């Protein structure tokens, strides 16, 4: 069974870690609803809920197979607590679909705010 995954940082096309999505299917560009913002975690972003954010976060939606999802969980440090993979709401055309994203559980106080799009 394939999983839809929203990526918003180094896994996007043309970014440094995109090779981890090799062989997977790009579905389209996606955007979170307002209320989310990116923060710099030291060379890669973390997404955080911010009620004052009006733009949301821009990223890509990919269809990934189970083996790739398992590798991505390890790469993203899910088992070490660096990220959690969670169901994540997106704006149309993905609003009615189950899409996952890697969410940082870290305290981002004092981290540099990036805005709505990660640019390496």
Active site residues: 76
Alpha-carbon separation of residue 70 from 2, 20, 90 (angstroms): 12, 11, 22
3-7 and 99-103 strand pairing:
parallel
Tell me the C-alpha distance between 95 and 40, whole Å. Answer: 26
Look at residue 19 and give its three-state secondary structure.
helix
- DSSP alpha helix (H) spans, 7-113: 66-75
For 110, the token pair is: 């004092």
């Amino acid at each position: 069974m394939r999983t839809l995954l929203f990526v918003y940082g180094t896994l996007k096309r043309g970014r440094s870690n995109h090779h981890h999505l090799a062989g997977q299917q790009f579905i389209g560009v996606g955007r979170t609803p307002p209320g989310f913002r990116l923060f710099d975690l030291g060379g890669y972003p973390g997404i955080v809920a911010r009620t004052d954010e009006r733009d949301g976060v821009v990223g890509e939606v990919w269809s990934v197979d189970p083996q790739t999802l398992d590798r991505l969980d390890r790469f993203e440090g899910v088992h070490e607590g660096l990220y959690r993979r969670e169901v994540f709401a997106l704006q149309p055309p993905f609003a009615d679909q189950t899409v996952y994203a890697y969410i940082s559980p870290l305290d981002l106080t004092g981290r540099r705010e990036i805005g709505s799009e990660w640019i390496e």
